[in-house]
Amino acid sequence: MIQSFQIKNIGTYDAVGISCDNLEKVNFIYGANGSGKTTISKLLSNPQSNCTISWLDNRALETLVYNKDFKEKNLLDSGFEGVFTIGEEDIDNERKIIAEKDKLDKLMVNIRRYTVTLDSKQGELRALEEEKVEAVWNNSKLINHELLRSSLTGYLGKKIDFFQRNLQGLSDNTPALALEELESIATSIFHDNTSAITNRPLAKVII
């Protein structure tokens, strides 16, 4: 057991400090707030250079002090009334779990924010696609030549089909021709064979 201890140059204790001698198995130390009781308890549990402890038969024993530090180190409020985690190792694990949960919560917040942004951008992209389809469809109204319209049978019924036919025409390297040129070609070459003109790059003219 502790027989005596001396403390100085810390907290409320000056260079002279205090000396508590002739201690018994049970001792009471009391005083007003700020008088240094907590300082004594901390130094007894974790001696520093400004604290000297004398043990019976010079046998130092493990010192357990129940104070604020002990509670923070060994007791953790789980957040549920009456439920606590006890033990230093369990507390460390619990704190790691809480820290990881905090990280997960932040990631989920970011995911939700990015999802909202992604949905917004996808909506904008769909709107742009619809605008393009509509613009190309409006150009179909410029095709009044009977042979040209006949060659596009199957594409003029739906906007998206006509749009895809335009994209197909843009994918090759054939030079674009003016609408008037295509009408002239259709009249002179494909007057009786409208199917042959379907392979011409009409989209490049329409767009």
* pLDDT tens digits, one per residue of 67-119: 777 777 766 555 544 445 555 556 666 777 778 888 888 998 999 999 999 99
Q: Which of 27, 26, 35 is nearest to 7 (CA)?
A: 35
Task: State the pLDDT at residue 11.
Answer: 85
**pLDDT tens-digit series, residues 132-142:** 888 888 877 77
Over residues 26-53, the pLDDT tens digits come to 988 888 888 888 888 888 888 888 889 9
| Torsions phi, psi for 144 (to 5 deg) | -110, -15
Question: Which residue is it, tokens 């403390």?
Answer: 7
Percent of the chain at pLDDT > 90 equals 17
Provide the phi-psi class of 60: left if phi over 0, else alpha when psi is between -120 and 50, else beta. beta
Helix and strand numbers (H, E) in the chain are: 7, 5
For the chain, list the strands marked E by DSSP: 2-7, 18-20, 51-55, 75-77, 84-86
More confident of the two residues 140 and 25: 25
Minimal CA–CA distance to 167: which of 150, 155, 180? 155
Strand order across the beta sheet in which 2-7 lies: 18-20, 2-7, 51-55
Q: Place 191 in a pLDDT band, splitting at 50, 70 and 90.
A: low
Determine the pLDDT at residue 80. 42
CB atoms within 10 A of CB 2: 17
Supply the mean pLDDT for the chain: 77
pLDDT at residue 113 in the model: 92
Contact 134, 167 (CB under 8 A): no
| Per-residue pLDDT at 145 | 64
Out of 98-112, 161-175, 188-202, pick the least confident.
Answer: 188-202
Please list, in sequence order, all residues whose beta carbon lies within 8 angstroms of the beta carbon of residue 202, skipping any fewer than 6 positions away. Answer: 148, 151, 152, 165, 166, 169, 182
Cβ atoms of residues 11 and 4 within 8 Å: no
Kindly indicate the confidence band of residue 155, based on its pLDDT and cuts at 50, 70 and 90. Answer: confident
For residue 60, the SS3 value is: coil
Share of the chain above pLDDT 70, in %: 73
